[in-house]
A and B are shown apart, each in its own frame.
Chain A
Amino acid sequence: MRVTFKIWRQDNSKVDGQFVEYELENISRDMSFLEALDMLNESLVLKGEKVIAYDYDCREGICGQCGVFINGRAHGPHANTTTCQLHMRSFSDNQVITVEPWRAKSFPIIKDLVVDRSALDRIVESGGYITAKTGTAPEANSILIGKEVADLSMDSAACIGCGACIATCKNASAALFTSAKLTHLNLLPQGKVEEGRRTLSMTKQMELEDFGHCSFTGACEIECPEGISISNIARMNFSLLKAKLLK
């Protein structure tokens, strides 16, 4: 295969960036999208040019580190996938592939396609945990959790924190990310105790980080690699209202 990559290049958040076009030939259809970028980078090195910076690590769709806009969609043309799990067979020969970094005010560009998502860590730091010291746990089976509840909690706990939901949202809202973490913990008996406090502080932090408000367009759910449901957002809003009333 042969494709044209149109890639956003930007040295840092203080300078302007622009698209640069690169032609790449002899791509195998079984190659992953990131391997094609690796191949492009090798050719740039041989020409004495700087490589294109992009984030990746596990390359098996679970670490959440990779993530770019490809032809206008977060993580590329398929729903519910990560960039590293996208293969060149999803593109056609001679196609122009436009690659951009996540766009959100709260995700400043570090370089080229790499953005700073530390705002998500700060949301978790504000309450995305169960307060339990090491060694203070009761016997695991002493707290019964029905399969349905454990499964529902797991559905939300599966969030990989890639930021696609935010990047694809027209308001750059972090509602799906935050609500997934809240749902995971608030549903479990161990996490229930701190539900109100956790919901208040995590939603507060979300605002402090300047993420936009959720207006329920649902794009986040479509692009979420784990298919995390927007019903989590409704659950978060309910929990927030309850916490405010009880406060």
Chain B
Amino acid sequence: MAEQKASTSIEAVESGLAAQGYIASRQIATAVYLSQQIEKPILVEGPAGVGKTELAKAIAAWRGMKMIRLQCYEGLDEAKALYEWKYAKQLLYTQILKDKLGEVLGGAQTLHAALDQLHDFGDVFFSKEFVEPRPLLQALEQPGGCVLLIDEIDKSDAEFESLLLEILSDFQVTIPELGTVSAITPPTVILTSNSERDLGDALKRRCLHLHIGFPEQRLEERIVESRVPGISQTLRRQMVGFIHEIRSLDLKKLPSVSETIDWARVLVLLQASELDTDIVKDTLNVLLKYEADIEAASPQVTTFIAKAARSNVFG
């Protein structure tokens, strides 16, 4: 367990993340707490823009650790994720050291003796010196621990998953030429996925499985409150209520938390004090990213505003 501010309770996690502007639901806080206590990575799934990546950033900021990010994509391999040999450097060194070779072999009379002498130097070129660490290896080598974010794991190939298994379960990797590199301090690992591809059972088994969906209305209001400080309470309630109505529609891409925050910022910028039909219609493109979605939502705007306002009165 990391010494820096290892959280003592679920509440501590919640308040710690809140201090970084990340308002976590109880599930999220429980997951973060447990992942530290039983040293397991968290696999975070959920729609885009609900704060999966943000969670990793918030944990890093809160615990004062470095965040190392590995963005996954199709074709990502060992050489780019884990480590690579610095071939050029190896080559350069052999050239430079050519003269030295004579000295090393100086005494040897026969080919056999020369080979024996060379043998002692054979492993020099496959030593730590010539390894170029990539994100995963870097994460293991951080002396004070770190937050390792493996972003959008579902974009990578199935083979890459297997590569991760050793790191995820034991926080170590095996480099054939060097042996096993274990983490100095086990990193806090967050994997995110948009469920584009089903992940393997082996991977899932090594992780806590956290699903972040769209937040409840109250929680979302708190998130807006912490992210967009200038916004009035009435407007906050109305706009969050409105977004919840929008999410009930059958849209191509539902607005998520990041859109909510963007919209709140826009509304503050426009100095709106209340939602009205005009301002919503003008700014709908902040919330909805497809022309078809905007068209589908536009006729409902007035009703939704009314609904949001009404729930505001009772809420």
Chains A and B form a bound pair: no
Instruction: Please give the residue numbers on chain A whose beta carbons come within 8 Å of chain B beta carbons, in ascending order.
Output: none
Instruction: Please give the residue numbers on chain B whose beta carbons come within 8 Å of chain A beta carbons, in ascending order.
Output: none
